[in-house]
Structure 1
Amino acid sequence: MKKSSLTILGCHSSIPTKKFHPTAQILEMKGYSFLIDCGEGTQVQLRKAKIKFNRIIHIFISHLHGDHFFGLIGLLSTFHLLGREKSITIYAPKGLKEIINVHFKWSYTRLKYSIDHIELSSHKFEKIMENEKIEIFSIPLKHRIYANGFLFREKPSSRKLNMEEIKKIPDIKIMDYQNLKLGKEFKTNDGRIIPNQKLTFDPPKILSYAFCSDTSFYLPIIEHIKYVDLLYHESTFLKIEEERAINTGHSTANQAAYIAKKAEVKKLLLGHYSNRFPNIKEFEKEAKEIFFNVEASEPLKTYYL
């Protein structure tokens, strides 16, 4: 299985340009490809990143400002034109379902696949998806309109069999493997107890990723993202524009760094840059005054958890 990774498709705010693309990213985790936000031009960026469209079955939209979902209807239309039959689930604020349905109604389009809409309206930290491998939570954000971040967290894996050691004990049969994977000790026919740690390896570390955009500087986020391996936090402005950040419901780079430091995350990725700051390394420099492990995210770059 591939390593868990995040591919940035777009990381700028508002107006797309030749160089700047609005928010969209692909999280690869436990064999799934999650699309997070879908700004204008996302499907072009997906092609550039060589990400297969048919692997996307879950889409998460943070809020209903255009730079976070204007690319979605185009992507859904492309799925249809490519003959997609596999259903898709969209987790988004209430209202997006209506927007999508109106478009396809008046374009007289009957999709070849179904869309399952999970409409979000809660202002609480809640689990919105779960299966045997992963669990996903909504994170309440503070913005001009209703907005959520998302926490993606792997579930613990089974222990890995140490076949070299297992072969040394003839009493162990294939039927015993599952108990060993669950961490149980093994008792031989003559009564000896073999410690599980001698027969198995520790499972892979549980990884987690948190996406927090768009949001003002909002301390309640911290309790929900404690110790995550990778945090993407918006940094629309530099601290010289802090008043503008407050007025528009956004954060500065140093505020994002403060959140990362207090949450004790492993690494911080900055993004959602205002186009008035063409040199994104300025954001990174400002954030590093507070939090050491920080990077300014770049389009079409992949980051590993």
Structure 2
Amino acid sequence: MVRSIPNLQSLDLSKNKLRSLDFLAHADLPVLSWLKLSENELTVINETVFLSLPALTYLDLLGNPFTCDCSIVGFIQWVISNNQTQVVNAYQYTCSFPLAKQGSKLLDFDFQSFWMDVNFLCFISSTCLVVLTLLTSFIYHFLRWQLTYGFYLFLAFLYDSKKRKKEAPHCYDAFISYNVRDEAWVYQKMLPVLEGEQGWRLCLHHRDFQPGKPIIENITDAIYSCRKTICVISRHYLRSEWCSREIQMASFRLFDEQKDVLILLFLEDIPAHQLSPYYRMRKLVKRRTYLSWTQAGGHKGVFWQNVRRAL
């Protein structure tokens, strides 16, 4: 509307509920000298609006609900420093927001504190930059080899993870770790059900270990070439040195791969206090559920179904 009257000299827009004056910045009003904007809803004034009115000599903003924060600092500075435009009754303008400053004079607003905040922010930023530079120099000078070593360890971990994903399928479904004195139970009770009826591929040391190879290598290869390890635990098992090595290796794999690779099967009821000397076994029993042959009673079918589910 105002673009069509470029020779406009006086404009009264009071009591129009205006919330912004941005439209004046785009209007072509080169000779506008008298502007009344009293009793509107102007909270923030952008001083650049008045810079687009080169002939402005009279301005009335009385009765507007000004917000006294950092957004109005530019306007206050323009009012104080401007020698061309007379801002009528500027010392009567009051703050309406925030509530803590309600009723205080607009020109009494202490905007210097905002510049102090800016200076403080610059101080904090420069201090952080200096500390970061010193810390980087210290790490490079004293800890660079440790960081390099850690970096290559991380690369090795990533390589190992990718390699495991590309590994061939396991040769067996389960490695059976048992003591030789429990061999009769394994061959007479376990194998007919797990291999004969359920069809699992089991690895047993008397049958599947490679002759001439060191025992510890056979144990390691058997545990890592099977999806699971079943430990057939009895009092004889706990006292066996090689059985201890087998469950130790299976525990290492459990920790290393973070997968459910270990199944505990108790042939006897062994109280927890009797497991105390065998710290690793007691720790596993406290953290993991296990199967008990003696508690199966007359429900052997349910017991073997639980083994099947665990596999």
Same fold per superposition (TM over 0.5): no
The TM-score, its normalising length taken from structure 1, stands at: 0.26
The TM-score, its normalising length taken from structure 2, stands at: 0.25
Q: Larger relative CO (CA 8 A, sep 6+): 1 or 2?
A: 1
Higher helix share: 2
